[in-house]
Structure 1
Amino acid sequence: MAGIAATGVVGGAALVSLKLSSTLLYLAATGMSLIMNKIQPSQLTEEQRNAFRLFHQLCEEIHTTVCIGNPTMNDVKDAMEKVLALDKAYPLPLLGVMLEKFPKTVEPAVWWSLHREKRQAKGYGGRKNNRNGWDDKLEEEMREIVRVLKRKHEEDYLRLGEKALKLNKVLAISGPLLTGLAAIGSAFIGSPSHGSWAVVLGVVARAFASVVNAFEHGGQVGMVFEMYRSNVGFFRLMEESIESNLEEEEMERRENGEMFEMKVALQLGRSLSELKDLAASSSIKERPYKSLQANFSNSFKLNSIVKYATL
């Protein structure tokens, strides 16, 4: 309509009708774009998909505990903490408690209870030197896996999440802004003093706005950001789980070492041999740096001793 009005073919009441209709449609498109960018449907969908998966997993854990029999108050308290943590991490949408769609910094999604009780002693019988499936080699392997998760996976996803967030912010601002400029230009089409600029704003600005909106919502940029954020949270949970076991000095209070190693491998989508190779390759990469650092430190000490002896 803005393009037809700018051709000058129509005039009088027809021109006014085209200008008014075009302006109203542009204003409606601006309002819809603002609402869509505020809600971020793709990001909201990814949030609720993760929430459903985690709640379903928690439901299965509770069901298993009940089926085994003899649930304790500690089991009830632990389940309640997990439910509350999940509800806080993924609140119901469109009820005034939505997650911030454009945070200042990228923070990992936290859906587990930060307050963790110490594990109850399991009372394994047998030899006094029983280490509950743990040995020095397994502990070092778990420490190397934590280093890999922090140095590689977590940092990579945080960096990608920041890029996705910045891109989403730019697109979310540009779309309504361009559509609003198109509405202003459409209102001034046919004016002698603003004729050329009004046509540019009314037609070209809306064309660019269509491209921006299509790229933002068609490309699911919000969903990509939420995916990176939840992945960082997953790796953070893995790190805390491994570190909490390693920090426990009493072996009986730890999870069984062999079972815990298998669980970590399954959660990372690797076999036991691949998990060991991952830890070994990380250790090999760090050794040259440590040896170089030690050689530099020893050389510096020797040079200092030589200078002192010379004086």
Structure 2
Amino acid sequence: MGTSMPSSNCSSFSYFSTRRIAATINVPKIKVTKISTPRLPNRSLVAELDYLNNCISTTTATRAKEDTYYSKINTTGSTTSGIRTPNSMEVVKLHLIMEIVEDRMEMHKNIGAQRDNWNRLLMTSVDMITLSASTMVGLAAVCPSGAPIVALKVSSTILYMAATGLILVMNKIQPSQLAEEQRNGARLFKQLHGELRTMISLGNPTESDVDEAMEKVFVLDRAFPLPLLGSMLEKFPQTVEPAVWWPRQKQRSPRKEELGGKLTGKNGWDARLEAEMRKIVMVLRKKDMAEYLRLGKEVLNFNKVLAVSGPLLTGLAALGSCLLGSVNASWPMMLGVVGGALASVVNTLEHGGQVGMVFEMYRANSGFFKLMEENIELNINEEDPHKRENGELFEIKVALQLGRSLSELRQFAAAVSSSHEEKGSEEFASKLF
């Protein structure tokens, strides 16, 4: 009875409407496939809870490590567990000094570019003013007497006086030399920034390292001042001396032992290396530094002549243009035209040739050799070899600073004989400059 009834119903349905039966049969199949697609995970509830607990504990441990790391560079100098990290305060101070040094470096770059623009713009302006005034004097000489010649005379005189004032200002501040000072300052601050970064990466800085870094910053500020008024370096000094941008080293007591004593082989130093460094110091003092000081003095004297000649020529040209037409002679016209042309040439030679920059370059080079000389003497005069820099590293540093390889440096030191010590070596120690 239970099986015959459904079969009769199905036959009647198929008799009346086959499409309707197909629709009623297919709809449940689609629904069944959609419901059967998701599958439950195989893990039990306890396993899922263990997995979540492990994730939470891992995240907590990671955050604890990050908190410990950031607490090391905290100004309190303590970790989350309350244990003080050694030298953490010194590291923070060095990072602070590095930020200041980086800011100084950018300031010197920007001001150096600005002062280089001053040099080019002022030089071009003065030349154009001078040549325009000279042209006006020539036109006034050929014009008939009257209003035109008066206008040309007044205009040329004003232009010559303006050029004289601008030349005096340029010769006083020497924009090309100012730009070179800022370039040197930016380079040395960048070098100090690298030294501080190396000190921090090596680890264990001390309070004396922090004090030395701060002193180097102050000395660089004095050696390469940013403002013009009050602290500008003298552009025409009476005597030429090497530039100094490092703190004065403390004088140590001279050695009481002879070369080759019981210091041999300690901390990379031996008798050969000490003798080599002494010969290099002798050549640096007598040849390299003396030569650059001599060149600097010659360039300074040449710059003084140009600095006096420029405003003198424009002043004479202004006098000639003012007297043009008032004196029955040709010398006012010659003075106004020729004086202006010569003044333009002198101004271009002085500031276009950047004579002040050349003087500053020679002064800085002699300062570089003086710094090398002091560093070598401080090491070889120290009695305790363990207080010196490592001998092998120091020799490599000296060789690279002089632009030589180790073999070239040793051959050069060996070539400096006792006879050369009396009359001086024929070769310069540096191959870099």
Same fold (TM over 0.5): yes
Distance 1:86 1:288, change over 3 A: closer
Identity level (%): 63
Task: Indicate the residue corresponding to 2:232 in structure 1.
Answer: 98
Instruction: Quote the residue 1:4 is aligned against.
Output: 139
Cα distance in structure 2, aligned partners of 1:222 and 1:35? 14
Counterparts of 1:243 and 1:175, CA distance in 2: 45
How far apart, CA to CA, are the structure 1 residues paired with 2:148 and 2:347?
A: 30
Q: How does 1:1-311 map to 2 (within 5 A)?
A: 1-7=136-142, 9-116=143-250, 131-193=266-328, 195-283=329-417, 285-286=419-420
CA change 1:243–1:163 in 2 (3 A) is same
The answer (yes or no) to whether the contact 1:178–1:206 under 8 Å persists in 2 is yes
Distance 1:242 1:98, change over 3 A: same
1:192 CA drift (Å): 2.9
Q: Which whole-Å CA distance do the structure 1 matches of 2:309 and 2:409 have between them?
A: 45
Please provide the CA RMSD for this pair. Answer: 2.0
One-letter identity of the residue aligned with 1:142: M
**What stretches of structure 2 of length at least 5 have no aligned partner?**
1-135, 253-262, 425-433
- Aligned counterparts of 2:290 and 2:277: Cα–Cα separation in 1: 19
Cα distance in 2 between the residues matched to 1:115 and 1:148:
21
Q: Which runs of 5+ in 1 are unaligned?
A: 119-127, 291-311
| In 2, Cα distance between equivalents of 1:89 and 1:282 | 34
Does structure 1 conserve the Cα–Cα contact (< 8 Å) formed by 2:264 and 2:271?
no
SS at 1:44 equivalent? helix
CA–CA distance in 2 between the matches of 1:288 and 1:25? 59
Please state whether the residue corresponding to 2:240 is helix, strand or coil. coil
SS in 1 for 2:330: helix
Between 1:280-289 and 1:109-118, the stretch displaced more is: 280-289
The structure with more radius of gyration: 2
SS of match in other structure, 1:15: helix
Between the aligned partners of 2:250 and 2:216, the Cα distance in structure 1 is 10
Q: Is the 8 A contact 1:139 1:246 kept in 2?
A: yes
1:159-185 Cα shifts (integer Å, max 9, x gaps): 100000000000011001100110111
Partner SS for 1:97: coil
Q: Which amino acid aligns with 2:298?
A: K
State the distance in 2 between where 1:89 and 1:192 align. Answer: 53
Highest relative contact order (Cα 8 Å, sep 6+), 1 or 2?
Answer: 1
Question: Structure 1 residues 235 and 289, CA, compared in 2 at 3 Å: closer, same or farther?
Answer: closer
State the aligned residue count. Answer: 280
Deviations 1:53-81, CA, capped at 9 Å, x for gaps: 00010011112212222321100111011
**Aligned residue in 1 for 2:115:** none
Asked if 2 retains the 8 angstrom alpha-carbon contact of 1:265 and 1:275, the reply is: yes
